[in-house]
A = this chain, B = another copy of it.
Amino acid sequence: VTANQPPRRAEVIGTGLIGGSVAAALRRSGWHVTGSDSDADTLEQALTMGVLDAVGTDSEAELAVVAVPVGSVEEAAAGPLERGAVVTDVGSVKAPVVEAVDHPRFVGGHPMAGSEALGVQGARADLFEGATWALTPTGTTDPEALALVHGVVRSLGAEVVTLAPAQHDRLVATVSHVPHLAAATLMGVADERASEHAALLRLAAGGFRDMTRIAAGDPGIWQDICRDNRDAILEVLDGYLESLGDMRRIVAEGRSEALLERLGDAQLARRSLPTGAPKPEELVEVRIPVPDRPGELAAVTSLATDLGVNVYDIEVAHSAGAGGGLLILVVAEDSAPAFAEGLTAGGRHPSVHPLGDST
């Protein structure tokens, strides 16, 4: 941004913890941010905190971030979509949202950050630094809309994972929703026994505290999540119950080797949890000429997801001629060969370049 350029303009609808943090992060990056909220006190506080430039709607906003409950996203997204903005949301369930909104300029999103603090008081411009932020384009998503949202999310410090909406919902059931229910249930079991033995909770060392920490979060958000993502949650919960039942049998039957194997596998998996993003020198660009029509980018990002290739950045470059463009996807160098091979197998003509290569 030079002194002569006007700031980019965004609208944030719903200025609670996540919406307020998005607004704060955008402002810190130089955006002009207009906000609205159904709760007048929240909006007032967002203004007082300096999280917003203005209150209301902004017909010039190129981006609108809808940070309201899943069931209200459709209604909140309508205005900005009509005004020509690219719209994204932050709901923790995606299939019902993208089905309801269904617009080329709508890109479903889900930042995996900040569930313990409450309300705009907890809003922080750095909330998303290092966090993972899922985006869920569909076959009808405008590639430029996705590229815009992808770029903005990256500029807030988050790592992007692109997923199909239904796939996203199953995965967050596995790593977020069912773990929350499991932690709360475990806390409940301990608490029940604590009423018989006051000493119990004093025995609760770091492991128990770690494991139940998420149960301290706001219970209010889970009614919506358990309704909107019910099928995926039940599927994963059934898998967990079955696996715990296996574990019970292993203990009951004293199958020491099977126990060691299960716990050893879990140890290895836990220690292998990915942390952070690759360094720039470990990244490359994969360039793919594509016809200029919807669905092309989604096909490419879906392939990347299927192959376990994470896309760190997306750019859509239009060629000078008509009817075509160039997708530039930034991926880890060690994942590029398999990705290029998959693209070639699908009839595309990818090329791999060093990051920022100008050839």
Instruction: Tell me, rounded to whole Å, the shortest Cβ–Cβ distance linking A319 to chain B.
Output: 30
> Which one, B134, B184, B189, contacts A174 given CB within 8 A?
B189
- Decide: B185 and A243 in contact? CB cutoff 8 A: yes
CA distance A99 to B226 in the complex (A): 48
**A305 — which chain B residues lie within 8 A by C-beta?**
197-199
> Which one, B167, B199, B226, contacts A308 given CB within 8 A?
B199
- Decide: B248 and A203 in contact? CB cutoff 8 A: no
A30 at interface by CB-CB < 8 Å: no
Enumerate A73-112 residues with CB–CB distance to B below 8 Å: 112
Given contacts A199-B310, A264-B219, A269-B187, contact A247 B205 (CB under 8 A): no
> Which one, B179, B227, B236, contacts A211 given CB within 8 A?
B179
Given contacts A176-B205, A191-B269, A223-B256, contact A184 B244 (CB under 8 A): no
Instruction: Tell me, rounded to whole Å, the shortest Cβ–Cβ distance linking A161 to chain B.
Output: 5
Given contacts A134-B203, A219-B260, contact A183 B211 (CB under 8 A): yes
- Decide: B243 and A205 in contact? CB cutoff 8 A: no
Given contacts A175-B205, A205-B113, A214-B211, contact A248 B234 (CB under 8 A): yes
Instruction: Tell me, rounded to whole Å, the shortest Cβ–Cβ distance linking A358 to chain B.
Output: 30
Select the residue from A170, A175, A205, A239 with max chain B CB neighbours within 10 A: A175
A72 at interface by CB-CB < 8 Å: no
**Residue of chain B at shortest CB distance from A305:** B199
**A267 — which chain B residues lie within 8 A by C-beta?**
184, 215-219
- Decide: A241 and B240 in contact? CB cutoff 8 A: no
- Decide: B186 and A182 in contact? CB cutoff 8 A: yes
Instruction: Tell me, rounded to whole Å, the shortest Cβ–Cβ distance linking A275 to chain B.
Output: 9
- Decide: A245 and B241 in contact? CB cutoff 8 A: yes
CA distance A198 to B251 in the complex (A): 31
- Decide: A209 and B273 in contact? CB cutoff 8 A: yes
Select the residue from A189, A219, A266 with max chain B CB neighbours within 10 A: A266
Instruction: Tell me, rounded to whole Å, the shortest Cβ–Cβ distance linking A105 to chain B.
Output: 24
A188 at interface by CB-CB < 8 Å: yes
Given contacts A159-B202, A202-B132, A241-B241, contact A247 B171 (CB under 8 A): no
- Decide: B186 and A179 in contact? CB cutoff 8 A: yes
**A167 — which chain B residues lie within 8 A by C-beta?**
197, 199
What are 27 pairs between A and B in contact, CB < 8 Å?
A131-B205, A161-B199, A167-B199, A170-B193, A171-B193, A174-B193, A175-B203, A175-B208, A176-B203, A176-B208, A178-B186, A181-B244, A182-B211, A183-B207, A184-B266, A187-B269, A197-B308, A198-B310, A209-B273, A211-B213, A215-B263, A215-B270, A218-B267, A226-B256, A227-B254, A230-B252, A241-B241
